[in-house]
């Protein structure tokens, strides 16, 4: 059986199930300011003339709605500010050009003096981290035991020599990491240093950095800048 509340709501075009005759379906939890004013007006029109709504109660209801509306508006504003702060602007992205950044990748180019630096990113603590360095044709020229490390980033610097201590010419090289905690495999990824050669700024989306040997990445994928 419909209550007086349901009847009042129905007259306003709002049903308990959220079907609104004058607009899209929304539940009672989605009432906006216009709905609130309409309900208050209906309350004043249908109140008992011998027991009218107390002014204090009316003011309290208005204050409560005003407070909720203010909090909702504040939340929307803060979300908008956060989204803008998280986006990399064009000027910030252009500043990467010519710099070398550390990002996820498997292809590493040697320095002029030989060898290269990089890092391994661990999802959890590992008792042993094993690194393999191979030539472009897949030949493994050096294996390195990096030892144990806590969760996070562990850096390494290869001197450019093979397992026999002889200099390795050429490049680029492919690096692969294997991390274990006892017998269990630990999630990991290799990080390489690569120069930023250009920046593209697609319409309606974040800038994209182009790295030699790595390809295109978002600025958020940069771990360090040198």
User: CATH topology for 91-225?
Assistant: Immunoglobulin-like (2.60.40)
Return the exposure string of 71-82: e unless at least 16 CB atoms fall within 10 Å of the residue's CB, then b. Answer: eeeeeeeeeeee
Helix (H) or strand (E) holding 132: strand 126-134
In the predicted model, what is the mean pLDDT of residues 36-56? 68
CATH 2.60.40.4070, the chain: domain bounds: 91-225
More confidently predicted of 102 and 9: 102
Label residue 18 by pLDDT band (50, 70, 90).
very low
Distances (CA, A) of 190 to 14, 15, 82, 177: 57, 57, 30, 6
Q: 153-195, pLDDT tens digit by residue?
A: 999 999 999 999 999 988 899 999 999 999 999 999 999 999 9
More confidently predicted of 36 and 113: 113
């Amino acid at each position: 059986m419909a209550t007086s509340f349901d009847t009042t709501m129905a007259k306003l075009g709002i049903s308990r199930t959220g079907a609104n005759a004058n607009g899209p379906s929304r539940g009672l939890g989605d009432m906006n300011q216009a709905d609130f004013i309409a309900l208050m007006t209906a309350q004043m029109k249908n109140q008992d003339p011998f027991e009218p709504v107390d002014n204090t109660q009316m003011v309290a209801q208005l204050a409560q709605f005003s407070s909720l509306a203010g909090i909702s508006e504040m939340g929307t504003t803060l979300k908008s500010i956060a989204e803008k702060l998280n986006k990399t602007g064009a000027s910030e992205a252009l500043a990467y050009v010519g710099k070398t950044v550390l990002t996820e990748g498997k292809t590493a180019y040697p320095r002029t003096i030989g060898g290269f630096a990089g890092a391994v990113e661990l999802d959890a603590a590992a008792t042993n981290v094993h690194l393999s360095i191979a030539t472009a044709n897949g030949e493994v020229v050096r294996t390195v035991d990096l030892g144990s490390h806590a969760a996070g980033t562990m850096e390494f610097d290869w001197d450019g020599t093979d397992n026999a201590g002889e200099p390795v010419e050429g490049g680029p090289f492919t690096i692969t990491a294997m991390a274990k905690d006892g017998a269990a495999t630990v999630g990991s990824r290799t990080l390489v240093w690569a120069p930023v050669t250009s920046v593209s700024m697609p319409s309606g989306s974040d800038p994209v950095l182009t790295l030699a040997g790595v390809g295109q990445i978002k600025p958020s994928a940069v771990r360090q800048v040198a």
